[in-house]
Amino acid sequence: LQYHYLKRPYELVPLTAAAMPTVRYLDAEGRPLPDDAPAAAIAFSEYEIRIRPGIRYAPHPAFAVDAAGKPRYLDLPREEIDKRFALSDFAETGTRELVAEDYVYQIKRLAHPRLVSPIFGHMSQYIVGLKELSAALDAENGRLLEAHRARYGPVDRGLPWIDLRRFPLAGVEVVDRYTYRVRINGRYPQFKYWLAMPFFAPMPVEAERFHA
C-alpha cells in the first residue's frame, strides 16, 4: 500500500495491491465472526491481499539465467566473487513477474536471526507463528554456523544461506500466484498501515540468495 500523495488527512491507497486488503474476523475455533463483533470475541483477524498481475522487477543479475534456465551466477567460486565489486561487474541480467510468494518471503525475513529486524518484537505479538519461526531459524542458523566454523574457522564471509521457503509460518500463506493472507492475533486495525512500510516490501528469493 501507499499513502495518497495529496489527501489530508492521510489516506491509504493501493500500490502494488489490486485493491485495499479485505479483513475477516475469526473466533478461537477459526469460525467467521460478523464485522461488528466485539473485540473480546475476536481471536484472529485475517487479512487477504491481492496484488496486480504483470508487475516486473527491474533488471538484475540475480534473475539472469543460462540457456538451460538455471541461475547464471549461483554459487560462484570464491575467486570469481572476489573479482566483482558492483552489480555492473555482472554482464547478464534478467527479470521476472512480482508474485505473492515474494511478500510472504519478506514477512518470514522479519524473524531471520542474521537481520535483526527492528519491528520483530512488535510484529511477533501479532503475526501468528512468527515467534515459533524465529526459534526454528535460530536453531538452523546455529547448526549452520557451527558446521561452517568447523570447516573454515572463525570467518564471517560466505556464511551458508538459509532458504526460508523450507520453514513454515503458520499465520501467513500463499493463496494463489497473486494473493496471500496474513493472520493476526486479536483485532489490530493498525496492521494495514504497516503494509505501506518497507518492512513489508516484497523480497524475491533470487535476490537474497544472490547477495548471500
CB 177 within 8 A of CB 102: no
- pLDDT averaged per 10 residues in sequence order, the chain, 212 residues: 96 98 97 96 98 98 95 89 93 97 98 95 98 98 90 76 97 98 97 96 96 89
Q: How far lies 63's CA from each of 59, 109, 200, in Å?
A: 7, 20, 21
pLDDT at 34: 97
pLDDT at 156: 66
Closest among 200, 176, 201 to 190, alpha carbons compared: 200
DSSP assignment of 49-75: EEBPTT-BPPPBGGG-B-TTS-BTTTT
The grid coordinates listed for 110 are: 522479519
pLDDT at 157: 66
pLDDT at 149: 86
